[in-house]
Amino acid sequence: MKKLWVRHIKDALHTGFAGHIDMSDYEKASSSVREKAFLSRSLAALAIQRFTELSAKQAAATVVDGSHDNGIDAIAIDAASHRVILVQSKWDGSGDGSLGLGDSRNFIAGFKDLLDTKFDRFTPRLQAREEEITAALDDVDVTFVLVVATTGRTELAKPSAAVFQDVLDEMNETQQLVSVEMLGLVEFHSFVAEGLGGTRIDFNAQLENWGTVSEPYEAYYGVVAASNVAEWYERFGDRLFSQNIRKALGNTSVNDALANTILDSPHHFWYFNNGVTALCESIKKTPRGAATRTFGDFSLTGVSVVNGAQTVASIHKAWQRSGSSLDGAMVWVRFINLEACPEGFATAVTRATNTQNSVETRDFVALDPQQDRLRTELVLSLKKTYAIKRGEPVPSPENGCTVVDATVALACANREPSLAVLAKSKVGSLWESTEKPPYRTLFNPTVGPYRVWRCVEVMRHVDLTLSDLKKKLDGRPRSVCLQGNRLVLHLVFREIDLQRIDDAEYDWSSELRKVPALTERALSSLVKHVDDVYPSSYVTSLFKNITKCRDVVQKVRDDWPKDFNDGS
């Protein structure tokens, strides 16, 4: 069976990627060597397709395999989900192999070099994408998916597994930045089979407390036991999402939170989740339960979940972890009957249900009276515009700022380094509750317009200086400059006079003139102490670790000569 499945995958790779995979570096190689390289690269491209919506041609363009590839065979950037997907692929004709210890170490070493922007250690294919990759690394919300793709066994030997576990332990110590996905023979064969379309998905579903909409198009709605939803995915896998804009995304932080909610608070799940929308070629209500709306049985044909793929997959994950029991958790479900719908309606539903605006924590900040007060005072005192709500015009830098600017600047100006860390790694957490710290630490009746505006000015001066310094740096120092920018800002604030920041008559320009020199000094010292104290730590995760950042800040300040006022 294994060899048959390997043959199926091999045929699918030739069908899907012939003419798309760059094989110019194998022109003089033997046919057998060239063939194995093609299959390995195509497998990497297919793995990329598993986590993105890229076409075969687009996925093939993500392949960076070659001599001195530093363990990375493909890299894709999904800007919408703030994810970087990295693949190492190994073609195994026997169907029984696995990733070795050396390859595992090479993959992680390459990942570390990528985080440190050591592009000279990679193939020209990857180097050509330096600007795109650097922009992704600069994204404060970026997460990484490390994909091991092989036509062999999914399970790694213990030494190889330990290599990946070490990087997970280090980089995820404060929040999930990295996940590891193993794709083996079984997963790829299933993916190939799904790509053929498979048979139509038909099943019966029981809706509790159901209702119906008859005009203009027929639909049914109600609640379904989460365990039943998990069984749908167990039976049909990603084929459930044939018309969705994306398949299940694996171990993302949102999906993990969904799974944890359904395990920890199953009776709250219906209230916390938006539910599932599915399109059906036809819907027939069976006679069972015909006299009541308490429950109803429905025969569904041609089912495709077009919104809620992550919900379904997360429920299935929780279902597996719980031993097939979800303790009464319920899910809101809509089934839309396409029988009488016009052409294009299914596509319109899919697009609309996947692009509706979500409510963010920033939206609740707009309800705080302190924000309205600051908006008024900034206009009256400084003639500056203060944009609070999403969607409001963003003022030009000289004419004003946003609530995001104010939050980050005030957080970094605080004596507590942890707020600067949150401003960098999870600014939304500073707004989680407008009734308590850290929000109330930053925004309260004592915070006036001059403090807000002057802190924003310092932040912009620091950012401008760091932007200039970044051009002269590479490797790990450059990563510190990018990822440690908010800690640099915090250090600068600790060295300027904040005692008179609220004094309208104070010549604040005298403090601003100190900022460029302080910024350069702070960065230089930060690079030194990061290398001295945490030489093996990944820079991306280090600056999201409050304990380590407190430690580094203290060492930098202990090392600085006290020739500036500490007015913080």
- 530-556 pLDDT, tens digit per residue, is 999 998 888 888 898 999 999 999 999
pLDDT of residue 568: 41
In the chain, the amino acid numbered 354 is N
Residue 539 · residue 406 · CB < 8 Å: no
Q: What is the mean pLDDT of residues 136-151?
A: 90
Q: CA-CA distance, 418 to 447, in Å (whole number)? A: 20
- The SS3 call for residue 316 is helix
Q: Give the integer Cα–Cα distance in Å for 164 and 88.
A: 13
Please tell me whether residue 467 adopts helix, strand or coil conformation: helix
Q: Of 429, 279, 231, 35, which Cα lies nearest the Cα of 421?
A: 429
Burial of 39 (0-12, 13-18, 19+ CB in 10 A): buried
Identify each DSSP E strand in 309-464 by its residue range. Answer: 330-337, 385-387, 400-402
pLDDT tens, residue by residue, 159-198 = 999 999 999 988 887 778 899 999 999 888 877 766 544 5
H or E segment at 145?
A: strand 143-150
Q: What is the pLDDT of residues 412-428, one digit of tens each?
A: 999 999 999 999 988 88
pLDDT at 445 over 50: yes
CA-closest candidate to residue 249, choices 53, 57, 40, 43: 53
Dig out the tokens for 498 from the structure: 């904040």
Q: Do strands 330-337 and 304-307 pair parallel, antiparallel, or not at all (unpaired)?
A: unpaired
Instruction: Enumerate the domain spans of the chain.
Output: 2-194, 200-352, 361-559
Q: Which residue, among 378, 379, 447, has the nearest Cα to 407 in the 3D structure? A: 447
Amino acid at 9: I
Structure-token pair, residue 303: 């089912």
pTM of the model: 0.66
Three-class secondary structure of residue 204 per DSSP: strand
Three-state DSSP at 336 gives: strand
Confidence band, pLDDT 50/70/90 cuts, at residue 102:
very high
Block residue for tokens 């091991």: 148
CA distance 189 to 156: 19
Record the tokens describing residue 242, joined without a space. 């044939």
